[in-house]
Structure 1
Amino acid sequence: MRDLVLWLARELVEKKDAVKVDAIERDRSSVYELTVDPDDLGRVIGRGGKTAKALRTVLDAAARHEGKRAVLDILD
């Protein structure tokens, strides 16, 4: 799932090399921390947070498909 978040985020931003995803694994849940260049932060969050919400929805669906739980944190 880390690769999924990484791929989705890289498709949204201009500075693809600055995208970083750290995974904190627990028993049946994971926290993914997404870091992007400050200039691209608005692209990842989107107007009114709609893009961030969509990213979280896709990640949650992928995690549930595997019987897990996942949370996406976008760090600034």
Structure 2
Amino acid sequence: MLKAILKLLIGDNGASSDGAAAVKVKSEGGLQDLEHFVDYVVRALVDAPDAVRISSESTEEAYVIKIDCKKEDIGKIVGRRGKTIMAIRSLVSGAAGRLQKRVTVEVVD
């Protein structure tokens, strides 16, 4: 999973014979990889990883990944002055940009 995120951030040098089909498959798989990446990172940060729920929603403007967890763990996800959630958003946004998609990450209260 982390290798897939790194490929999205760094890029894949492999060429495909069918470019259009490869982009579509890569895009759908890439969005799921981003969702799994957020799930992995958030579960590593919180005290109650079993209570973490990651859901996604597609709107006209963007693909939204929503994080739902216990109230006690929200501070761990947000971090001091929001630095942790900003780092997660930055990584997800950068990887999504390589897919030519807009993805946002939200913490549900």
Paired residue for 1:29, among 53, 62, 65? 62
Relative to its length, the structure with more strand (as a share) is 1
Equivalent position SS for 1:14: coil
Q: TM-score, normalised by structure 2?
A: 0.64
| Percent of pairs with identical residues | 29
Equivalent position SS for 2:47: coil
| Structure 1 alignment gaps of length 5 or more | none
Show structure 1 runs of 4+ deviating over 6 A.
none
Residue of structure 2 equivalent to 1:67: 100
Relative to its length, the structure with more helix (as a share) is 2
Q: TM-score, normalised by structure 1?
A: 0.90
Pick the structure with greater CA Rg: 2
The superposition leaves residues 6-52 of structure 1 with CA deviations (integer Å, 9 ceiling, x where unpaired) of 01111111100111111112467301111111111110000111111
Tell me: higher relative CO, structure 1 or 2? Use CA pairs within 8 A at least 6 residues apart: 1
Q: Figure out how many residues of one structure are paired with residues of the other and give that number.
A: 76
| Structure 2 alignment gaps of length 5 or more | 1-33
2: CA distance between counterparts of 1:42 and 1:55? 14
2: CA distance between counterparts of 1:6 and 1:38? 17
Paired residue for 1:10, among 39, 43, 49? 43
